[in-house]
Amino acid sequence: MSQADIGLIGLGVMGENLALNIADNGYKVAVYNRTADKVDSFLSGAGDLSDNVMGSADLAKFVSMLKRPRSVIIMVKAGGPVDSVIEQLKPLLEKGDVIIDAGNANYHDTVRRFAELDGTGIGFLGIGVSGGEEGARHGPSIMVGGSEDEWHNAEDVLNAIAAKFDGESCCAYLGTGGAGHFVKTIHNGIEYADMQMIAEIYGVMRDGLGMSPAECADVFREWNKGPLDSYLIEISSHVLDAVDEESGKPLLDIIVDQAGQKGTGRWSAIEALNLGVSATTIEGAVAARSISAMKDERIAGEKLYGAAPKGKAKLDLKTLEKALLAGKIAAYAQGFAVMAKASEENGWNLPLDQIAKIWRAGCIIRSRFLDTISQSFASGTAANLLTQPAFVEMMKDSNGALREVVAGCAMAELPTPCLSSALAYFDGYRQANGTTNLTQGQRDFFGAHGFKRYDKEGDFHHSWPSLIEK
């Protein structure tokens, strides 16, 4: 067989499916995996695609199967395993070859790996891949970071395997260094917020309105025909509809309410905090997963304070739908504001409209909403979504509903960490005269940090009285 167009290391859930996707698109792919059995079972199970797949459990042999200049995708567990694979690959590669880390790397690791490969002549791309198992197999969204020259080495294959929206590939080169992995991190932060707000609205329906999972599923199905139309709303209706075969009960009533997290949502919140950008809805979603993990403490807490009353929310479904839309606008506004700031700080020049475009299909947050975001950023210059005309209109129409839901849930004793932070973000964003004049006064009082005045230019300090009794 002729040599492979591209190599792929790591035949886990994502790697195996990406390799099949590459082969399915007519490219020859060579595979390698640490555990040798997986290489054999992959090759023997490739079926109709077997002409386009090859591989070896010997790394040097795997490398020898690749066309020069070689492109090698690494799709292994994030963190140390990626460093270990790079170290093993380095002596086998040569100037002009490129390593492509396609896992969920912390972008700081990506920046470090660039530096470590600097001077070797071996190129590096950090790419974010979203879409889970199905996306990897049939078309993920791909966010590319690194040098543009090296991107051109792998461009054809990555464009071919990516999802398509109206015929356009959902893969794009976004900027140098860690840009691709940074954007993927923020994608996941937005994903956390989106998922949590949907869960909060489900909570209102379940506990505040006394609806069954099947009734909630019907509502989500209906909403999926309107402005909330998205993959996450669609899968929520399927999850709500599912029945446990063993017990005959709704599956959702059997699933324990403890959410896992692998780190990307948390990284997203950390980056926002480090950049000084308000992303409270993303932070709220991370915190909600953390409190969900404290099941025993929550059980004890309910015993201490009593359970929230059931069926006490005085809210209608139209209001819930609009509230979810308003919350979603705030969360996306935060995520895009974080990317705008990171772009400025890192000199990436991130194309926000292009990012929204490649999220329209393939990835977990795919939705029609992203098409509107893309058009807004393409036509406007303002960085915050809340100032983009299409979203100003939507927010004017829906923020009242968000207010009603947050207030209603507060009175019905239902937690809404994301929806309420979204409302607070919006109210803070549109408040010309805030209250941190008092904060500045306090800071100047105890730390002589100074303050600015409305009536004069410059920095000022007040002579505060000493509170220590003489």
Mark 237-253 as b/e (b = at least 16 C-beta within 10 Å): bebbbbeeeeeeebbbe
Count the residues of the shown chain that bind ligand NAP, applying the rule CB under 6 A: 23
Site for ligand NAP in 60-79 (CB under 6 A): 75-78
Using a 10 angstrom Cβ sphere, with 0-12 exposed, 13-18 middle and 19 or more buried, the burial of residue 406 is buried
304 and 212 in contact (C-beta within 8 Å)? no
Region from 80-88, 199-207, 221-229, 243-251 binding ligand NAP, contact rule CB under 6 A: 80-88
- Only one of the segments 4-12, 171-179, 206-214, 390-398 lies at the binding site for ligand NAP (rule: CB under 6 A); that segment is 4-12
Please report where in the chains the tokens 């809210």 appear, as a residue: 315
Residue 131 known to bind ligand? yes
- DSSP letter assigned to residue 35: S
Q: Based on CB atoms, which residue is closest to ligand NAP, 13 or 448?
A: 13
C-alpha 244 chain-centroid distance: 30
Task: Provide DSSP, 257-296.
Answer: S-----SHHHHHHHHHHHHT---HHHHHHHHHHHHHH-HH
- Establish if 11 lies at the interface with ligand NAP (CB under 6 A): yes
Shortest CB 7 distance to ligand NAP, Å: 14
- 370 interacts with ligand NAP by CB under 6 A: no
Q: Which is nearer to ligand NAP, 208 or 265 (CB)?
A: 265
Answer for which of 69, 81, 96, 415 binds ligand NAP (CB under 6 A) is 81
How far apart, in whole angstroms, are the C-alpha atoms of residue 317 and residue 323? 10
Ligand-binding annotation for 458, yes or no, is: no
Report residue 71 as tokens. 């492109």
Put residue 131 in one of left, alpha, beta given phi > 0 → left and psi -120 to 50 → alpha: left
- The smaller minimum CB distance to ligand NAP, of residues 34 and 90, is found at 34
**406 annotated to a ligand binding site:** no
Q: Is 34 in the site for ligand NAP (CB under 6 A)?
A: yes
Q: Does the annotation mark 184 as catalytic?
A: yes
Binding of residue 333 to ligand NAP (CB under 6 A):
no
Element (H, E) at 179: helix 179-203
Instruction: For residue 169, give Cα distances in angstroms to 164, 225, 323, 351.
Output: 5, 24, 32, 15
Shorter beta-carbon distance to ligand NAP: residue 15 or 250:
15
Shortest Cβ distance from residue 247 to ligand NAP (Å)?
28
Is 212 annotated as ligand-binding? Answer: no
Going by the annotation, the residues of the binding site for substrate are 104, 130-132, 187-188, 192, 262, 289, 443, 449
Which residues here bind ligand NAP, judged by CB under 6 A? 10-15, 33-35, 38, 75-78, 81, 84-85, 103-104, 129-130, 132-133
